[in-house]
């Protein structure tokens, strides 16, 4: 696990205690052992007999499970009536299990799943949940009455996420389902690795966080408690106790100050510690002595639940800004941790904190956390903050369902929350996320496994089928959220493109296939520049481009979260907008007069797609007429611009990309793109060859305006930028170049064509599109 060095600069968050998060002073965290081996797909052979069986049953067997979305119980797994019956379902399960896990590896440079080249159409069918005849979770024996309240709890333990009836099924599922088997193995391996480590060492990141500590402890406790329950070996209980003692300040080394050990000033930490203790208390309930139980409760109340209740009772210490109108991950994480803590000890708690808290946290999360998803599914912070927000939202919803028999409305209060799974799928490129804005801290216990939970809760099996092959899938939550009756391939029927049109975050996602790490992926955003919990950049028109297994145009990510006034304001004059990575010049878009964009931007977008969906094969090439385009009117994002539209489209069956800027500007224009590639500008000055990861991409200015030249330069501040505050600096961006095109004030159509040099493609196979004004772009305008 890579850690970045931390420093002790003062916290300057607007939020009293500061956003918190982890700062990047040294660039990016990359996998410690990156391997590149993704281009040679492995052919797997499916035994013919199984194919025949599956071919015969599929279609009859594959029925969809209709349970009401956001139902009050997660246990209603019985499906619709399905023709074919139990025998057919069982054959289908045999066929899918014979394949094993669909992805053969995730140890690629970008940790993306590698899908084999196969046309196994018998099993790669539309995502669904098989009928009740298939391997599936039984109904929860705990069935609450008509109006389940948050304080009438299931009689048995565990209460949180993993009730006993589910543990009882795991040996069967592990024996019969390759995903359960693989995940169980990995969790055991991870738990064994953590076992021999010393307890997590307290590390205060300035006064803005011990969040890494809290999440690492939570990650360990989940694994230890899981392995105990799967083995009955009490060494795991002892090791859990050691970690609890350490985090309670009762270990052999100092753990923070006496008064505020879980750092309520930065309440995320408090909440994640509370969640960790809740899991330990609840999952190992029968193993603790009464004394131990009392000690765990004491510590949770003192450092977690007590301060949490104070937030809701006048907030005397001013640490509860997150509870008021914060539609973002903070509200989710804080309420989720407090809720899990309260549910874990309710009934044993003699302080009244647990009962009282449940009267606040659920409504607060419904009003705030659950509203962080826009009506198009986009998480209103960033693609990375989606992980923190939805992990907590899913943990809280799941805990409420198992403990009280109802999600208490958390899953349904926002009627389009279910769309956030689509957001995650489309914001994931062929190599990595369209990771605009801040990237956030280390993830530890945070994963994308909310996708697996939402799949069942929202009857959207494609979410789980997508996530189950990802590198972060194996961890205890997956073992309880995954439905073994799931069937099919997420890509079958999945549209290649999606346009997210909510004004807050307008953006486009276009790709050539879902199952090849070498795919073409281009994504571009417009949207508003405020209203993202101050995690955004001034980045209307910003894009990323993936092709040939690498990222050609990419993001710089977070600045140093401890920089002066990094989070204080997102007004035009905010200090945040002085830092390179947050400025417009730090984005892959147009810069006018070297100035930042206008924070009051209100872009308008139009778009089109020929609408292909990938079929069942992992081997997919879009037809030659397949295309998508997206045009944003960004005039409102600029000063000194009379009109400006930026468009992006795929060409030539999605093998090429055109980015076009139709602009009338009184200010000097600079086209900018950040890349890790080595760039060689050709002698004409209007085309360039980029090389990266052993691959090549050419870019070319079409119909080049007089004087337009491609240049390269370092990722550094423009000469006329306002100075940084005293003592502040930008983070280095090692290996990153800016590719730029400068034009004086004037009216232009600047067209930049990107040609990834696909294997086997001749120069003559590339198209040179006609010049078409963006106002005239259509699906056929470039045929
Ligand atoms: C879970 O994985 C561990 C480690 O591979 C293995 O020893 C154990 O038998 C597995 N559990 C079950 C129920 O198969
Ligand atoms: C868990 O184990 C897997 C498989 O060995 C490994 O790739 C992963 O990095 C481990 N996770 C952590 C958090 O140590
Ligand atoms: C652990 O103990 C429980 C309760 O005695 C028992 O039901 C279960 O089978 C045991 N599990 C293992 C893996 O020994
Ligand atoms: C830690 O020690 C304090 C003081 O002795 C005690 O009150 C508390 O219960 C202990 N907490 C745990 C989790 O052992
Ligand atoms: C989300 O729910 C709405 C309303 O039930 C439904 O129309 C839509 O298809 C769902 N979206 C997804 C991705 O499941
Ligand atoms: C450069 O590569 C790193 C590691 O893959 C990545 O995180 C970063 O976004 C890339 N930068 C650009 C500008 O593409
Ligand atoms: C930004 O402008 C507001 C309103 O004029 C002012 O109160 C604030 O101090 C300014 N902030 C900075 C960082 O200059
Ligand atoms: C607008 O353009 C003029 C002329 O180039 C320049 O002097 C002025 O600073 C620009 N204003 C802004 C806000 O960029
Ligand atoms: C753009 O579309 C308009 C209206 O359809 C048409 O009159 C005009 O000729 C088109 N211009 C170009 C350059 O295609």
Retrieve residue 558's tokens: 């977070």
Q: Which of 439, 459, 487 is the last residue of a domain?
A: 487
Ligand that lies nearest to the alpha carbon of residue 556, given by its number in the listed order: 6
Same domain, 130 and 260: yes
pLDDT at 442: 93
Q: What are phi and psi of 316, to 5 degrees?
A: -60, -25
The answer to whether the CB of 552 falls within 8 A of the CB of 697 is: yes
For the segment 744-754, the average pLDDT, to the nearest whole number, is: 98
CA atoms within 13 A on the CB side of 400: 29
Retrieve residue 535's tokens: 């995690």
At residue 132 the predicted structure's pLDDT band, cuts being 50, 70 and 90, is low
Same domain, 561 and 464: no
Same domain, 454 and 523: no
At residue 23 the predicted structure's pLDDT band, cuts being 50, 70 and 90, is very low
For the segment 641-662, the average pLDDT, to the nearest whole number, is: 98
Retrieve residue 288's tokens: 């603790």
pLDDT at 118: 85
Same domain, 472 and 564: no
In the DSSP assignment, the letter for residue 201 is: P
- Has residue 12 been placed in a domain? no
User: Which are the contacts of 182, defined by CB distance < 8 A and separation ≥ 6?
Assistant: 101, 474
CB of 773 closer than 6 angstroms to any ligand 9 atom: yes
pLDDT at 15: 25
- Has residue 39 been placed in a domain? no
The answer to whether the CB of 232 falls within 8 A of the CB of 225 is: no
Same domain, 263 and 177: yes
User: Which are the contacts of 232, defined by CB distance < 8 A and separation ≥ 6?
Assistant: none
- Give the ligand 8 atom nearest the CA of 666: 2
654-682: pLDDT as tens digits: 999 999 999 999 999 999 999 999 999 99
CATH of the domain at 147: 1.50.10.100
3-class secondary structure, 95: helix
pLDDT at 131: 83
Retrieve residue 761's tokens: 């493609």
pLDDT at 222: 98
Task: Convert 735-751 to b/e letters by CB count within 10 Å (16 or more is b).
Answer: ebbbbbbebebeebbbb
* Distance (Å, whole) CA 220 – CA 231: 16
pLDDT at 254: 93
CB of 188 closer than 6 angstroms to any ligand 8 atom: no
Note the pTM of the prediction, 2 decimals.
0.92
Percent of the chain as helix, strand, coil, to the nearest 5:
30, 15, 55
Lowest mean pLDDT among 254-258, 525-529, 705-709, 748-752: 254-258
Same domain, 419 and 523: no
- Give the ligand 4 atom nearest the CA of 247: 13
Compute the distance from residue 323 Cα to the ligand 8 centre, in Å.
42
Provide the domain limits for residue 317: 58-487
Same domain, 685 and 544: yes
pLDDT over threshold 60, residue 13 = no
Task: Convert 525-542 to b/e letters by CB count within 10 Å (16 or more is b).
Answer: bbbbbbbbbbbbbbbbbb
Kindly report the average pLDDT of the chain as a whole number. 90
At residue 62 the predicted structure's pLDDT band, cuts being 50, 70 and 90, is very low
CATH of the domain at 543: 2.70.98.70
Ligand that lies nearest to the alpha carbon of residue 771, given by its number in the listed order: 9
3-class secondary structure, 49: helix
Q: Which of 452, 487, 522 is the last residue of a domain?
A: 487
For the segment 512-520, the average pLDDT, to the nearest whole number, is: 98
- Has residue 492 been placed in a domain? no
For the segment 636-645, the average pLDDT, to the nearest whole number, is: 98
CB of 416 closer than 6 angstroms to any ligand 8 atom: no
pLDDT over threshold 50, residue 194 = yes
pLDDT at 206: 72
Q: Give residue ranges with CB within 6 A of ligand 5.
A: 69, 418-419, 422, 458, 460
**Bridge-based pairing state of the strands 543-547 and 641-651:** unpaired
SS (H, E, C) 475-487: CHHHHHHCCCCEE
- The distance from CA 27 to its chain's CA centroid, rounded to whole angstroms, is 20
Compute the distance from residue 196 Cα to the ligand 9 centre, in Å.
70
Domain count, the chain: 2
At residue 624 the predicted structure's pLDDT band, cuts being 50, 70 and 90, is very high
How many residues in total does the chain contain?
783
Q: Give residue ranges with CB within 6 A of ligand 1.
A: 171, 174, 184-185, 188, 230
531-552: pLDDT as tens digits: 999 999 999 999 999 999 999 9
Same domain, 122 and 212: yes
At residue 258 the predicted structure's pLDDT band, cuts being 50, 70 and 90, is confident
285-328: pLDDT as tens digits: 999 999 999 999 999 999 999 999 999 999 999 999 999 999 99
704-715: pLDDT as tens digits: 999 999 999 999
At residue 576 the predicted structure's pLDDT band, cuts being 50, 70 and 90, is very high
* Distance (Å, whole) CA 522 – CA 508: 8
Same domain, 512 and 377: no
The 590-592 sheet, strands edge to edge = 590-592, 669-675, 737-743, 710-714
- The distance from CA 453 to its chain's CA centroid, rounded to whole angstroms, is 14
pLDDT at 45: 31
At residue 412 the predicted structure's pLDDT band, cuts being 50, 70 and 90, is very high
Q: Whose CA is nearest to atom 3 of ligand 3?
A: 232
199-256: pLDDT as tens digits: 999 999 875 689 999 999 999 999 999 999 999 999 999 999 999 999 999 999 999 9
- Give the ligand 8 atom nearest the CA of 668: 5
Q: What percent of the chain has pLDDT over 70?
A: 89
- Has residue 448 been placed in a domain? yes
- Has residue 141 been placed in a domain? yes
H-type alpha helices, 317-384: 329-345, 353-367
pLDDT at 2: 26
- The distance from CA 367 to its chain's CA centroid, rounded to whole angstroms, is 22
Q: What's the N-to-C CA distance of the chain in angstroms?
A: 49
Same domain, 433 and 331: yes
- Has residue 507 been placed in a domain? yes
- Site to probe by mutation for ligand 3, drawn from 158, 230, 232 as the one with most ligand atoms within 8 Å of Cβ, is 232
* Distance (Å, whole) CA 688 – CA 281: 60
pLDDT at 154: 98
Retrieve residue 682's tokens: 């050709």
Same domain, 575 and 439: no
Lowest mean pLDDT among 134-143, 608-617, 750-759: 134-143
At residue 437 the predicted structure's pLDDT band, cuts being 50, 70 and 90, is very high
CB of 778 closer than 6 angstroms to any ligand 9 atom: no
Q: Which of 457, 487, 517 is the last residue of a domain?
A: 487
* Distance (Å, whole) CA 133 – CA 111: 35
333-353: pLDDT as tens digits: 999 999 999 999 999 999 999
- Has residue 636 been placed in a domain? yes
- Give the ligand 9 atom nearest the CA of 781: 14
- Has residue 755 been placed in a domain? yes
Compute the distance from residue 552 Cα to the ligand 6 centre, in Å.
9
Same domain, 467 and 518: no
CB of 68 closer than 6 angstroms to any ligand 3 atom: no
Q: Whose CA is nearest to atom 7 of ligand 6?
A: 28
pLDDT at 207: 59
CB of 676 closer than 6 angstroms to any ligand 6 atom: yes
């Amino acid at each position: 696990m890579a850690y970045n060095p931390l420093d002790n600069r003062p916290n300057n968050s607007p939020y009293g205690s500061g956003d918190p998060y982890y700062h990047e002073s040294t660039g990016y965290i990359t996998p410690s052992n990156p391997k590149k081996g993704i281009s040679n797909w492995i052919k797997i052979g499916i035994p013919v007999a199984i194919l025949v069986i599956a071919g015969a049953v599929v279609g009859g067997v594959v029925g969809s499970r209709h349970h009401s979305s956001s139902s009050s119980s997660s246990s209603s797994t019985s499906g619709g009536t399905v023709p074919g019956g139990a025998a057919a379902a069982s054959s289908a399960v045999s066929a899918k299990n014979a394949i094993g896990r669909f992805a053969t590896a995730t140890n690629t440079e970008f940790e993306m799943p590698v899908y084999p080249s196969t046309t196994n159409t018998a099993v790669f069918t539309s995502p669904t949940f098989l009928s009740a005849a298939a391997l599936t979770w039984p109904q929860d024996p705990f069935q609450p009455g008509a109006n389940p309240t948050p304080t009438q709890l299931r009689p048995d333990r565990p209460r949180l996420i993993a009730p006993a009836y589910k543990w009882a099924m795991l040996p069967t599922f592990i024996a019969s389902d390759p995903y359960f088997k693989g995940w169980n193995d990995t969790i055991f391996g991870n738990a064994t690795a953590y076992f021999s480590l010393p307890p997590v060492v307290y590390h205060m990141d300035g006064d803005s966080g011990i969040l890494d500590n809290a999440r690492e402890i939570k990650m360990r406790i989940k694994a230890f408690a899981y392995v105990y329950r799967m083995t009955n070996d009490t060494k795991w209980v002892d090791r859990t106790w050691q970690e609890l003692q350490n985090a309670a300040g009762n270990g052999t080394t100092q753990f923070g100050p006496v008064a505020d050990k879980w750092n309520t000033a930065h309440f995320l930490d408090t909440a994640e510690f509370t969640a960790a203790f809740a899991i330990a208390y609840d999952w190992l309930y029968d193993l603790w002595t009464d004394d131990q139980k009392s000690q765990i409760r004491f510590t949770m109340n003192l450092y977690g639940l007590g301060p949490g209740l104070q937030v809701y009772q006048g907030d005397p210490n001013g640490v509860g800004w997150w509870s008021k109108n914060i539609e973002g991950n903070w509200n989710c994480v804080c309420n989720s941790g407090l809720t899990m803590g309260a549910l874990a000890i309710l009934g044993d708690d003699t302080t009244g904190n647990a009962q009282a808290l449940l009267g606040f946290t659920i409504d607060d999360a419904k009003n705030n956390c659950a509203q962080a998803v826009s009506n198009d599914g986009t998480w209103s912070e960033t693609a990375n903050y989606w992980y923190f927000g939805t992990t907590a939202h899913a943990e809280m919803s799941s805990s409420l369902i198992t403990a009280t028999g109802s999600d208490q409305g958390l899953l349904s209060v926002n009627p389009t929350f279910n769309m956030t799974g689509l957001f995650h799928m489309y914001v994931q490129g062929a190599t990595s996320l369209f990771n605009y804005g801040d990237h956030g801290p280390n993830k530890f216990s945070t994963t994308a496994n909310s996708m697996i939970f939402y799949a069942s809760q929202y009857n959207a099996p494609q979410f789980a089928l997508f996530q189950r092959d990802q590198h972060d899938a194996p961890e205890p939550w997956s073992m309880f959220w995954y439905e073994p009756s799931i069937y099919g391939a997420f890509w079958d029927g999945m549209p290649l493109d999606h346009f997210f049109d909510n004004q807050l975050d307008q953006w486009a996602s276009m790709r050539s296939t879902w199952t090849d790490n070498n795919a073409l992926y281009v994504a571009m955003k417009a949207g508003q520049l405020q209203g993202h919990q101050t995690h955004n950049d001034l980045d209307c028109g910003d894009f990323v481009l993936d092709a040939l297994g690498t990222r050609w145009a990419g993001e710089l990510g977070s600045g140093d979260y401890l920089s002066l006034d990094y989070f204080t304001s997102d007004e035009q004059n905010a200090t945040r907008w002085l830092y390179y990575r947050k400025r417009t010049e730090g984005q892959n878009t147009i810069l006018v007069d070297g100035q930042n964009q206008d924070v009051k931007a209100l872009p308008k977008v139009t778009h089109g797609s020929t609408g292909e969906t990938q079929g069942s094969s992992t081997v997919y090439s879009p037809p030659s007429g397949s295309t998508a385009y997206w045009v944003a009117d960004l005039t409102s994002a600029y000063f000194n611009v009379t009109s400006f539209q930026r468009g992006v489209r795929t060409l030539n069956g999605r093998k090429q990309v055109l980015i076009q800027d139709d602009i009338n500007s009184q200010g000097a224009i600079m086209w900018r793109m950040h890349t890790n590639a080595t760039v060689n500008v050709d002698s004409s000055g209007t085309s360039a060859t980029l090389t990266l990861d052993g691959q090549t991409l050419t870019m070319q200015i079409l119909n080049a305006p007089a004087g337009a030249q491609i240049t390269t330069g370092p990722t550094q501040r423009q000469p006329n930028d306002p100075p940084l505050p005293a003592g502040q600096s930008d983070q280095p961006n090692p290996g990153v170049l800016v590719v730029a095109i400068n034009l004086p004030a004037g009216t232009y159509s600047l067209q930049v064509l990107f040609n990834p040099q696909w294997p086997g493609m001749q120069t003559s196979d590339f198209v040179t599109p006609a010049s078409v004004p963006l106002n005239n772009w259509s699906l056929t305008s470039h045929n």
